[in-house]
A = this chain, B = another copy of it.
Amino acid sequence: MLIACLDLEGVLFPEVWINVAKKTGIEELKLTTRDISDYDELMGIRLKIIAEKKLTLRDIQYTIDTMDPLPGAVEFLDWLRETCQVIILSDTFEAFARPIMRKLKMPAVFCHSLGVDENNVVNSYQLRIDDAKTKAIDAFRSLNFNTLAVGDSFNDLGMLQRADHGIFFQPPAEIAAKYNDIPVAQNYEVLKSMITDLVKNY
């Protein structure tokens, strides 16, 4: 029985922070896990900027409301949810994830949580658990699922390598080259075809 674990940003939805950076004109918020592989370091930088600029959670949610899933993502996810079980594994936060999930027809998402101060300015974050994506794969394997992971970036490497099947979706060229044992899909049609082949075995 196959369970597919998908990264969110870069696989189904555009990068939220990049769009917040564009919307607010705060250039330093453009950094993602593609640029800085240490998530704690990255979030430290983001929180410092947010405090300086007094960016509220509502400001960020407003940006998310203006964003759309990647072209073809909703149709791909509809297809996948008919094909096997699907869980989104993301290093985003519940307060960001909820408006995004509505645009994707409410799949289950395992992510983290944010704190805000009395003025709704984001001032902290709490990881539900370290290395959450890899540990979720371990948990599903312990439940006797066959696991498929799809991701695009550094913070997906753990789950891509731990899952029974890992697939890169539109990864940066340098990551794909470095981890060239992980197959690559450059679009949803290829990804569907790779998953269709997998499902035949289950």
Contact = CB atoms under 8 A, between A and B. Distances in A.
User: How many copies are assembled?
Assistant: 2
A101 to B, nearest CB: 8
A144 interface: yes
Contacts of A145: 110, 128
Interface string A91-107: 00010001000000111
Contacts of A132: 143
Contact of A139 (B94, B105, B128, B139): B139
Contact of A85 (B82, B105, B109, B140): B109
Given A85-B109, A105-B105, A128-B1, A142 B143 contact: no
A82 B105 CA distance: 11
A21 to B, nearest CB: 27
A177 interface: no
Q: Looking at chain A's contact residues, is the secondary structure mostly helix, strand, loop, or mixed?
A: mixed
B113 A1 contact: yes
Contact of A106 (B98, B105, B143): B105
A108 interface: yes
A4 B94 CA distance: 15
A200 to B, nearest CB: 15
A135 interface: yes
Given A87-B108, A108-B108, 15 more contacts: A1-B113, A82-B98, A85-B108, A85-B109, A86-B108, A107-B108, A110-B145, A128-B143, A129-B143, A129-B144, A135-B142, A135-B143, A136-B143, A139-B139, A139-B140
Interface of A: 1, 81-82, 85-87, 94, 98, 105-110, 113, 128-129, 132, 135-136, 139-140, 142-145
